C-alpha cells in the first residue's frame, strides 16, 4: 500500500467496472497533482471513455469531466507486466500500460453474479502481494470467494447509498446521495476462532487501507459522508441495505416495471415492501448476534426517503428490461441461505427468490430455443 502522505510515491488505483457507480467514485479519487492515479477497466463504454473521458452530471459536485489516468478494454490489458510506468504523463490521452509494481487498490464495482462467473478468478491477473481488493457490490456473501482465492491480501468491503445511472456510454448522472461505508473483511463472522487469529494481520492491513481510502475520498474527493467501520459493523450495514435492495429491486420486476417511489403509491405494494423490510429487520439481529444500531434508518424512515426518489429505476429492473442476468444470488439467495444456517427462516425473501429465479430461467430457456 502506498502512502497518501508521501507525494513521491504514486498511488495506483484500478476500478474494474465502469458503470455509473464505478465512474462516480473513481472520479472523486483521481488526483494526479497529489500523485493519485485512477484508471478504469471498461467494456461496452470503452471507446467512448477512451475518446472523451466520463462526463458527469452530479447533484453534489456540479457537472465535470473525469479523464482517467488509463482506460483498459479488458482485465488482461490491465494486468501488470513489469514494464515501467510509474512516472506521471504529460500526455492528456489515457495511457494503456499498467503500473510496473502493480496496483495498490483494485476496486470491483461490477455486478456480483456468482451463479454466472467467478469474479475472484477474473481479477486474479491484477492482484499482486501489495494489492488491496475493494468490493463495492450489493448483497451478502460477496467477499468470501475473494478471501478464499487471496488469503494474504487485505480486503475492504463497501456499501454505497448513491442513486446514479449511466444515461449513455460515457455519460453518468448522479441523482441523490454520496455515502459510502467501508469495513475490512477477515474471514467472515461465522469463522472459528483459529481462523480469526490467522487472519488478524491481514485484517490490520485492511484497516490501514480502509483509512487511507476514506482519507483520499474525503480530503481530495470532497465526499463528506465516507464512513469507516469494523467488520461486524460493515456486515450489519450490508444487512441494513438489503432492506432496500431485497424489497424494491425484485418488486420492480414483478410489479411490471415500477420504480421505488411509484411502488409506494400502491397500498398493497407498500404493505408488501414494508413486510420484506420488517422480515430483514427481525432476522438480521438473530444472524449477527446484535440489534441494528439506532443510527440506522428504520423501515418506516427508508420508505419515507424513497418516496422522494422519483423517476429512477432499480438496477435489477434495468437488467431485466435489457435481458441481462439479475443479481438474484447475492440479494436474495445468499441471505436466505445464510439465515437458514443460523436457524432463521425468511419466507418472503425465499418466495421472491424462487419466483424471479424461475422467471429468469424460463426466459433464458425460451431464448435458447429461439436460436435453434
- Distance CA(134)–CA(349), nearest Å, equals 27
On the question of pLDDT at 325 being above 90, the answer is yes
* pLDDT per residue as tens digits for the range 160-174: 988 888 999 999 999
pLDDT at 86 (0 to 100): 45
* Phi/psi-derived region of residue 106, left when phi > 0, alpha when psi is between -120 and 50, beta in every other case: beta
Q: Are 140 and 238 contacting, i.e. CB atoms less than 8 angstroms apart? A: yes
At 149, list the grid cell: 482465492
- Distance CA(317)–CA(366), nearest Å, equals 19
* pLDDT per residue as tens digits for the range 290-310: 999 999 999 999 999 999 878
Task: Output the pTM of the full model.
Answer: 0.91
DSSP codes, 87-142:
SPPS-SSPB----TT--SEEEE-S---TTT--HHHHHGGG--TTPEEEEE--SSS-
* pLDDT per residue as tens digits for the range 31-69: 999 999 999 999 999 999 999 999 999 999 999 999 999
pLDDT at 91 (0 to 100): 39
Taking Cα atoms as reference points, which of 45, 24, 261 lies closest to residue 158? 24
Lowest mean pLDDT among 146-155, 262-271, 302-311: 302-311
pLDDT band at 112 (very low <50, low <70, confident <90, very high): very high
Taking Cα atoms as reference points, which of 342, 349, 324 lies closest to residue 288? 342
Average pLDDT of the residues in 240-249: 97
Q: Are 185 and 147 contacting, i.e. CB atoms less than 8 angstroms apart? A: yes
pLDDT at 355 (0 to 100): 98
Amino acid at each position: 500500500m502506498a502512502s497518501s502522505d508521501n507525494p513521491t510515491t504514486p498511488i495506483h488505483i484500478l476500478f474494474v467496472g465502469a458503470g455509473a457507480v464505478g465512474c462516480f467514485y473513481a472520479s472523486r479519487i483521481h488526483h494526479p497533482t497529489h500523485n493519485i492515479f485512477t484508471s478504469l477497466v471498461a467494456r461496452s463504454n470503452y471507446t467512448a471513455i477512451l475518446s472523451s473521458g466520463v462526463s458527469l452530471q452530479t447533484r453534489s459536485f456540479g457537472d465535470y469531466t473525469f479523464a482517467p489516468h488509463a482506460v483498459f478494454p479488458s482485465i488482461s490489458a490491465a494486468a501488470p507486466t513489469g514494464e515501467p510506468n510509474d512516472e506521471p504523463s504529460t500526455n492528456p490521452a489515457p495511457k494503456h500500460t499498467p503500473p510496473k509494481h502493480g496496483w495498490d487498490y483494485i476496486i470491483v464495482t461490477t455486478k456480483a453474479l456468482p451463479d454466472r462467473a467467478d469474479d475472484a478468478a477474473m481479477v486474479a491477473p491484477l492482484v499482486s502481494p501489495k494489492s488491496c481488493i475493494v468490493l463495492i457490490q450489493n448483497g451478502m456473501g460477496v467477499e468470501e470467494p475473494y478471501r478464499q482465492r487471496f488469503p494474504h491480501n487485505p480486503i475492504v468491503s463497501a456499501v454505497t447509498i448513491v442513486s446514479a445511472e449511466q444515461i449513455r456510454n460515457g455519460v453518468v448522472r448522479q441523482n441523490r446521495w454520496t455515502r459510502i461505508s467501508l469495513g475490512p473483511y477477515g474471514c467472515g463472522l461465522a469463522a472459528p476462532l483459529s481462523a480469526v487469529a490467522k487472519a488478524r494481520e491481514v485484517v490490520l492491513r485492511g484497516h490501514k487501507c480502509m483509512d487511507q481510502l476514506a482519507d483520499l475520498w474525503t480530503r481530495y474527493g470532497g465526499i463528506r459522508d465516507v464512513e469507516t467501520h469494523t467488520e461486524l459493523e460493515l456486515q450489519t450495514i450490508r444487512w441494513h441495505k438489503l432492506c432496500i435492495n431485497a424489497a424494491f429491486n425484485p418488486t420492480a420486476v414483478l410489479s411490471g416495471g415500477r420504480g421505488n417511489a411509484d411502488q409506494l403509491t400502491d397500498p398493497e405494494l407498500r404493505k408488501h415492501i414494508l413486510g420484506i423490510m420488517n422480515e430483514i429487520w427481525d432476522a438480521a439481529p438473530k444472524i449477527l448476534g446484535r440489534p441494528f444500531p439506532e443510527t440506522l434508518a428504520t423501515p418506516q424512515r427508508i420508505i419515507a426517503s424513497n418516496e422522494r426518489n422519483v423517476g429512477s429505476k432499480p438496477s435489477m429492473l434495468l437488467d431485466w428490461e435489457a435481458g441481462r442476468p439479475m443479481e438474484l444470488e447475492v440479494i436474495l439467495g445468499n441471505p436466505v441461505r445464510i439465515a437458514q444456517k443460523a436457524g432463521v427462516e425468511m419466507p418472503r425473501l425465499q418466495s421472491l427468490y424462487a419466483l424471479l429465479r424461475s422467471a429468469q430461467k424460463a426466459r433464458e430457456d425460451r431464448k435458447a430455443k429461439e436460436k435453434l
